[in-house]
Structure 1
Amino acid sequence: MAKLSRTKSLEELERRIDLKLADRERVERALTHSSHASARRAANYERLEFLGDRVLGLVISERLFALFPQANEGDLSLKLNSLVSADACAEIADQLGLWDFIRHGGELKNVSAENTRNIRADVVEALIAAIYLGNGLEEVRGFILGAWGERLRGAASARRDPKTALQEWVHTRSTVPPRYEIVERTGPDHDPVFTVRTVIDGVKPGEGKGRSRRLAEQEAATSVLKREGVWKEEQA
């Protein structure tokens, strides 16, 4: 397998993240995909990714806890899940231009961005671990809060799709996702009104009405989110 080097230096990475990297060997590992010719089992980013995921969750959770003193556990969990998701981490990788620094085998050279999403997300988490182990918690906290700054500032006003928000909230309580049932369909075919009930294990059902089944399902999900205090009235 061909050995591919990054197109940017670690010095350039330090400039981009405004941080002097204390443990360059570990950072090299954080930026090395398992397909790279020199990557032995312990010399790629996979173990670091495991730790970085936890460090990221801690720092973001801590910040959300401080930013939203009135938010309940369910609301905080929804915000956290959105901020540390694979999509969010991959976007941070793109924001920092991390693909320029990743060492990998030739088969990844022409892979589409969509198919490398998980790799980009994993490298962000691995880099977080490398900074944490080399530079310490305070410096990795500064890196995370700087990189996630816009997303954290937008978290207060972000409005989630109610069905997605409800599913994520239910996931914190149960492995059984909410299901939606049509209770009634009224009106003429060209202008129907749907009444839909959402059924959740251990939670009182919610109902909603709408001009389409999708809108009725969203209204039913919203009713549960508001009733259970996950969403405040002003969010709906």
Structure 2
Amino acid sequence: MAAGHPLQPLLHGDPLNATDVDLAALAGRIGHTFGRAELAAEALTHRGALDRRSELKAAFPHGNERLEFLGDRVLSLAVADLLLRRFPHEHEGELARRHAALVRAETLVEIATTIGLGIDIRLGDSERGQGGAVRPTILADALEALLGAVFLDAGFAASAACVEYLWGDRLTSQAAAPRDPKTALQEWAQARRLPLPSYREVGREGPPHAPLFVVDVAIKGHEPAQARGGSKREAERLAAIALLERLSRQ
């Protein structure tokens, strides 16, 4: 990458002084060996860690947010490409449902947790949840940031290979394309001639730079369900899942 690229980290001095990430262990977790260690270090630096570690703030003034922005797009394209090749006879709607299930935050959190990514992320004290655990949204963002870092380090083919390595059997484990839970809940209501589900944001929790959205979903004649998510859309999806699970037990 040429000097002056808008996504190139702003480094002051040796970038390795800004982190003690074990690059060899990281390579084993994600299936990629970084040629540029500073990209891996940036991907694993949460913005909340900058105020308490001056060397991180000097090296990565935005934390991993810019790489997370890039990695989100890299992941979406990589998964779409893999699905097109693995399911050549499926229609667009089926592929879209598979894609949504594979790139959603819960899947990212599952993968990040499985590979033990949390131990490498540089955090501020307020970014840890109960018992000192790394918050799920931070795990998901860090995994996307790593995919963005791999893209800058070695190109799209390398980042797509990481996705294939990390997602593994998830890419083909669904016998049928999964339905979006909000669509499933809507169909449940329509089948019973009820009004469509209504979603309402009832609050926000956490720090301003990493809020958790609290959303209620209600169907006429049934107790509402509530869920929290890193975005309003994600909270609505989780609330729909919670209400579907409750309705299935009635």
- What's the TM-score bracket when you normalise by the shorter of the two chains? 0.5 to 0.7
Q: Distance in 1 between matches of 2:95 and 2:182?
A: 12
- 2:43 alignment partner, one of 30, 44, 49: 30
Alignment of 1:149-168 (within 5 A): 149-155=168-174, 157-158=175-176, 160=178, 164=181, 166=183
- C-alpha contact 2:32 2:150 (8 A) present in aligned 1: no
- C-alpha contact 1:56 1:84 (8 A) present in aligned 2: yes
Q: Spell out, residue by residue over 1:134-188, the C-alpha distance to the aligned partner (whole angstroms, 9 max, x if none).
A: 1111111111101011101203x1564x5727359xxxxxxxx66825xxxxxxx
- 2:72 alignment partner, one of 53, 58, 63: 53
What's 2:23 paired with?
Answer: 10
- When residues 115 and 101 of structure 1 are mapped into structure 2, their CA distance, relative to the original with a 3 A threshold, is closer
- C-alpha contact 1:23 1:135 (8 A) present in aligned 2: no
Unaligned runs of 5+ in 1: 169-176, 182-194, 201-212, 215-236
- C-alpha contact 1:131 1:140 (8 A) present in aligned 2: yes
- 2:81 alignment partner, one of 62, 69, 72: 62
- C-alpha contact 1:22 1:131 (8 A) present in aligned 2: no
- C-alpha contact 1:98 1:120 (8 A) present in aligned 2: yes
What amino acid is the match of 1:20? T
- When residues 50 and 178 of structure 1 are mapped into structure 2, their CA distance, relative to the original with a 3 A threshold, is farther
**Runs of 4+ deviating beyond 6 Å:** none
- When residues 60 and 102 of structure 1 are mapped into structure 2, their CA distance, relative to the original with a 3 A threshold, is same
What amino acid is the match of 2:137? N
Q: Spell out, residue by residue over 1:75-105, the C-alpha distance to the aligned partner (whole angstroms, 9 max, x if none).
A: 1111100000000011110121100110111
Q: Distance in 2 between matches of 1:164 and 1:18?
A: 32
Q: Distance in 1 between matches of 2:32 and 2:113?
A: 18
- 1:196 alignment partner, one of 185, 192, 196: 192
Unaligned runs of 5+ in 2: 1-17, 197-220, 223-250
- C-alpha contact 2:19 2:41 (8 A) present in aligned 1: no
Alignment of 1:1-236 (within 5 A): 9-36=22-49, 37-38=52-53, 39-40=56-57, 42-109=61-128, 111=130, 116-155=135-174, 157-158=175-176, 160=178, 164=181, 166=183, 180-181=189-190, 196-197=192-193
Q: Distance in 1 between matches of 2:47 and 2:34?
A: 22
- When residues 71 and 16 of structure 1 are mapped into structure 2, their CA distance, relative to the original with a 3 A threshold, is same
Q: Distance in 2 between matches of 1:15 and 1:61?
A: 25
Q: Which has the larger radius of gyration?
A: 1
TM-score normalised per structure 1: 0.64
Report the 3-state secondary structure (helix = DSSP H, G, I; strand = E; otherwise coil) of the residue aligned with 1:149.
helix
- C-alpha contact 2:64 2:142 (8 A) present in aligned 1: yes
Q: Distance in 2 between matches of 1:29 and 1:131?
A: 11
- When residues 180 and 18 of structure 1 are mapped into structure 2, their CA distance, relative to the original with a 3 A threshold, is closer
Matched positions, count: 175
Identity of aligned residues (%): 30
